[in-house]
Structure formats: structure tokens, C-alpha cells
Amino acid sequence: MNTGIPSFDFPSLLENERRRRQIEERKSGGVEPLPGKRTSRRRPILLHCHFRAFPILLIWIAALIRLATAAEPPAVETAPWENVSDEFFKQIGVYDLTALHQRRCVGMAVAPTGEIFIMASEGHGVCVSKDHGETWSVVPGSNVTGRCMTGFSFSMAYPYAGRLAFFCIDGTGGLTLDGGAHWRPFGKLLRMLEYADVDWRTNDPQTIFGLLHEPYYTVLSTNGGQQWRQIYLETENPKDSKGALNLRYGVLDATTLLRAHGDRPGIDVSTDAGQTWTGVAQFQVVGQRPVHYGKKVYWSTTEGVVVSGNGRDWTLTGRGPENAIYGPYFGNREQDFMMVAQKGFFITHDGGQTWQEAAPAFFAPDGFKKGATLNGAFSCFGWDATNNILYTAGRGGSVYRLKLQR
């Protein structure tokens, strides 16, 4: 059996090493006797043995290291991903719609306690599974419609207590404050929202700040999303608005807005509803919006995850995972969260100080478009921290589940 460890003829190696040292010592005036000759001068036996055995010792150590490495378990989870949604999508008639981007799952958010919320088109709106995708149901009377454009088209308040919002295009989107039992649709403006952020510091948030979809207008609501105001009406060009996709927006509280730039380093803060901005940090932000845990906000950057409690002072939680696009997805503690990068799924249990690769990268194979994009489009992810399950869904595709080792 090939163990991956090289085979060595140790007696031959030992004899060759002895002869080589005899020759070297003769040339350098050493005292090692030639065969058949004696000398009255002797080396200390222990020192003599130490130097002659040293190369052999190194070979043994190298072989043992390779054996130990070969015996180590794989660093990441290799179990298969499971499709957990197709039967449900067939039941409600969205499995094989002609328009690929409107089929099956068109938005997803996973609570750390295990609930999976998804958006379905054809007027079904919010659907939910409370048993890890084994069964699904359409939430009755939610009145929340549309489809999510990106993996940032939802916002969840952590620690999770049932507060969640979906931001959708060609529909309403909406939020729940009681774990999905009741939903409040947003008021409509044009095609509605590409993504947005919410003031989760309040129990019933009123301030919502985000970006409309085609044209990409910056909008602000101060009454819980019932009305929207385009705050840069005079400067945003409807014929050339894609430049706004390079902006990342966030909300700290009812009077403090956040902004970052996708094409250059910088985090800005505004206390006058976005009329003026002050630069406060030089991190290169990746995530389209920050993530809220209590009164803190976390944001993914090219260096790792940064955190702030006041919007002005930002601290890097730790190095890596670098260039992670999606997250953080928090668990049941602030120290536990998951990030998704091009290379895989990464989890920390010490607030971002160290990371473990939980699984290699996986993007839903049947999505409208595949892969990770810098603006987070087309792919959704989630982490059920209570049961240690990863989820992914591509827009227009199915929901996939990966059970990690517990």
C-alpha cells in the first residue's frame, strides 16, 4: 500500500554516511581512524554519536511528519449538498417557469435558530420551512411580493428575535417583527429595491436606506418603508445610474447613515439624511450593506470583518477571511458568525480572530446565474447555527442544504 511516505534503506544510508565523514575528516585533519589503524586520541563517544546520527534523525523526523499529516482528517466538510425544495416548488407551480430568473427560489434568509424564509414568485411571496427544508409552506396573508436581486436583499436583526426584512424588485418586499407570523409590505416606488439597510436599534424600525433597481436611485424612508424619498434627485441620472452600484449603504440609527465605496477604500458617515458625508475610515468595503448585532454594525472588507458601535470608529475583528463577500451570518452568540468567499464557507467562534473553512465553495448549479459577484447578485446563503447547517440558493434555482459535523 502506498502511504505517501518515501521508502529508505536505513543500513545503507548509515554506512554511506560513515564513509563520507571518514573521507571529510581525513581531508580536514580530523582524528577519525581509517580501517585497520588505531589512534590514541579519542572523541567523546556521546558527541561522536550525536553528529553521526543527526542526518538519519532528520530523515526519521521528516518521515514521521509525513505520516502524521497523511493521517489527519480533511480540514473541510465533504458531505454532499442536498436539494431540499423541488417538490415544494412543483406543488406551488414555480418549478419550471419559462422565465428562468422567476422560477423557484427568488430570495432567501436563514435564521440562526433554523427557520428558512424564501421568496417565491407568481404572487406566492414569503414561504417558510421550520424543519431544515423537509417541509415548506406559503405564509398565509403575507402580502409581500417580488423577487430579490442579491444576497443582500434581506436584513436580519441579531441577536435574532424574529425581526427580518426582504427587499424586492417588481413587488413590495416587506418586514416582520414576530418571526414571520405577520408581515408588513413596503410602499412601492418605481421597480423597488435592489438592497437596503434598516435601523434595527429600535423595536419597530422607521429608517430604511437603500438603492432602487433600474434606475439605481438612492432612497430613504423615515416611516418604516411606507414612503420613499429620492435624496439625490438633482444629481442621479436615470439614463446612466449604474455608477450607484459601486456604493454600499447602511444605517446605524435613526439619525446616522453610513456609506462605503466598492471601487475605493473609505467609510463615510452622515447625520443630515445623506446631504453631507464625512470620511471616518479607510477600509475597502465589500458587502453591499452592514449587518447588525445589537447596537453594533459589522461590515465585510477586503481585509476581514470590521465593526463599529458609533459609525465613526471602526475596528478589524481579525485577519480574514479576506475578500469574503457575503455575511456576517451570526449564530446564537456575537462571537459566532459565518462568511462566504469565492473559495468557501468560513466560520469563526472567537469573534473573527481565527477562522475555519467549514466547506468548499458551492453555488447552486441550477441558478439563473452562478458564482459570487462583487455586488452579491444572484446567490443567497445562510447558516442555521443551532443545527450547524449551511444553505445556498441561486436566484431562479433550488434551495440546497449541507449538514456540517456537529
Flag whether 76 is in a domain: no
CB within 8 Å of 35: residues ≥ 6 apart:
none
Q: What angle do CA 336, 337, 339 make, to 5 degrees?
A: 155
Element (H, E) at 120: strand 116-120
Q: Band of the pLDDT at 141, cuts 50, 70, 90?
A: confident
Name the percent of the chain lying above pLDDT 70: 79
- Tell whether the model's pLDDT for residue 282 goes beyond 50: yes
Residue 349 lies in a domain: yes
Q: Which residues share a beta bridge with 397?
A: 105
Lowest mean pLDDT among 41-50, 80-89, 119-128, 251-260: 41-50
Q: Which residues have C-beta within 8 Å of that of residue 86, sequence separation ≥ 6?
A: 95, 104, 398
In angstroms, what CA-CA distances link 68 with 5, 61, 78, 107, 246?
10, 11, 21, 45, 48
Domain ranges, residue 399: 82-403
Whether residue 135 is contained in a domain is answered as: yes
Average pLDDT over residues 66-81: 51
Is residue 86 domain-shared with residue 201, that is, in the same domain?
yes
pLDDT at 240: 87
Same domain, 33 and 104: no
Closest CA to 324 of 264, 401, 376, 377: 376
* pLDDT digits 0-9 by tens, 324-356: 999 999 999 999 999 999 899 999 999 999 999
Q: How confident is the model at residue 20 (pLDDT cuts 50, 70, 90)?
A: low
Q: Which amino acid is at 397?
A: G
Domain for residue 5, yes or no?
A: no
Residues 6 or more apart from 326 whose CB is under 8 A from it?
Answer: 151, 152, 287, 300, 339, 340, 372, 376, 379, 381
Q: What is the CATH number of the domain that holds 86?
A: 2.130.10
Number of domains in the chain: 2
Do 22 and 98 belong together in one domain?
no
pLDDT at position 315: 98
- pLDDT tens column, 365-399: 888 776 655 556 779 999 999 999 999 999 899 99
Put residue 172 in one of left, alpha, beta given phi > 0 → left and psi -120 to 50 → alpha: alpha
How many other CB atoms sit within 10 Å of the CB of residue 102? Answer: 17
pLDDT of residue 179: 97
Shared-domain flag, residues 278 and 248: yes
Same domain, 191 and 62: no
Dihedral, CA atoms, 98, 100, 105, 106, nearest 10 degrees? -110
Look at residues 71, 91, 112 and tell me which one is the last residue of a structural domain: 71
Residue 4 covered by a domain: no
98 in the same domain as 62: no
**Long-range contacts at 128-133 (CB < 8 A, ≥ 24 apart):** 128/180, 129/84, 132/84, 132/384, 132/387, 132/389, 132/401, 133/82, 133/84, 133/85, 133/391, 133/399, 133/401
Identify the pLDDT of residue 100. 87
Identify whether 77 is part of a domain: no
State the Cα–Cα distance between residues 374 and 385, nearest whole angstrom: 25
Mean per-residue pLDDT of the chain: 85
Q: What Rg, from alpha-carbon coordinates, does the chain have?
A: 30
Q: Cα(377)–Cα(344) distance, rounded to whole angstroms?
A: 17
pLDDT tens per residue, range 232-245? 998 998 888 888 88
Is 194 domain-assigned?
A: yes
The whole-number average pLDDT for the span 117-145 is 95
Sheet containing strand 105-110, strands side by side: 105-110, 116-120, 125-129, 137-138
Residue reference for cell 419597530: 204
Same-domain pairing of 334 and 201: yes
- For residue 238, the model assigns a pLDDT of 85
**Same domain, residue pair 61 and 112:** no
Return the pLDDT at 45: 42
Q: Over pLDDT 90: what percentage of the chain?
A: 69
Spell out where 282-324 has E strands.
291-293, 296-300, 305-308, 315-316
Which residues are paired to 20 by β-bridges?
A: none
pLDDT at site 76: 52
Choice among 38-47, 256-265, 283-292 with the minimum mean pLDDT = 38-47
pLDDT (tens digit, 9 = 90+) per residue, 161-208?
999 999 999 999 999 999 999 999 999 999 999 999 999 999 999 999
Write the pLDDT tens digit of every residue in 86-125: 999 999 999 999 998 899 999 999 999 999 999 999 899 9
Instruction: Identify the pLDDT of residue 105.
Output: 95
Q: pTM higher than 0.85 for the full model?
A: no
| For residue 56, pLDDT beyond 80 | no
pLDDT of residue 12: 47
N-terminal to C-terminal alpha carbon distance within the chain = 32
Q: Are residues 163 and 263 in the same domain?
A: yes
Task: Give the per-residue pLDDT at 403.
Answer: 97
> Which residues, at least 6 apart from 99, have a Cβ–Cβ distance to it below 8 Å?
none
Q: Are residues 181 and 140 in the same domain?
A: yes
Could you tell me if 232 and 244 are in contact, meaning their C-beta atoms sit under 8 angstroms apart? no
Mean pLDDT score, 16-44: 50
**Do 300 and 268 lie in a common domain?**
yes
Instruction: Out of 71, 99, 120, pick the residue that ends a domain.
Output: 71
pLDDT of residue 32: 43
Domain identity same for 66 and 127: no
State residue 68's pLDDT score: 45
- Choose between 196 and 22: higher pLDDT: 196
State the cell numbers at 362: 458551492
